[in-house]
């Protein structure tokens, strides 16, 4: 199948739990960067928001979020190439 992917992944929630708030924020910003803001400033501001850091810490060790981050850009590129919208990956 041309829209099929196999990945072997090991999540390490205990490692993520030991990261500082700044480490969590920095890693998140590396994944979801913005061109209009300085990454180091954005990391410091984000690290100061304990509630948001807790959510991001959970997401950084979550397999579902990993798969979303892996498949979404691929699906967007394929849909753009095929000039279509909607689900790319089979349900």
Burial of 24: CB neighbours in 10 Å, binned 0-12, 13-18, 19+: buried
**14-63 per-position pLDDT tens digit:** 999 999 999 999 999 998 887 777 888 889 999 999 999 999 999 999 99
| Residue 90: pLDDT over 70 | no
CB 57 within 8 A of CB 16: yes
What pLDDT is recorded for position 91? 53
Q: CA distances (Å), 80 to each of 1, 75, 84, in order? A: 19, 8, 6
1, pLDDT greater than 70: no
pTM of the model: 0.75
């Amino acid at each position: 199948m041309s829209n099929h992917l196999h990945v072997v992944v090991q999540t390490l929630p205990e490692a993520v739990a030991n990261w500082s708030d700044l480490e969590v924020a920095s890693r998140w910003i590396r994944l979801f960067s913005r061109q209009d803001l300085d990454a180091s400033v954005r990391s410091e501001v984000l690290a100061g928001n304990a509630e948001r850091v807790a959510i991001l810490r959970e997401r950084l060790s979550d397999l579902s979020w990993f798969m979303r981050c892996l498949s979404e850009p691929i699906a967007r590129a394929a849909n753009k190439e095929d000039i279509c919208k909607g689900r790319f990956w089979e349900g």
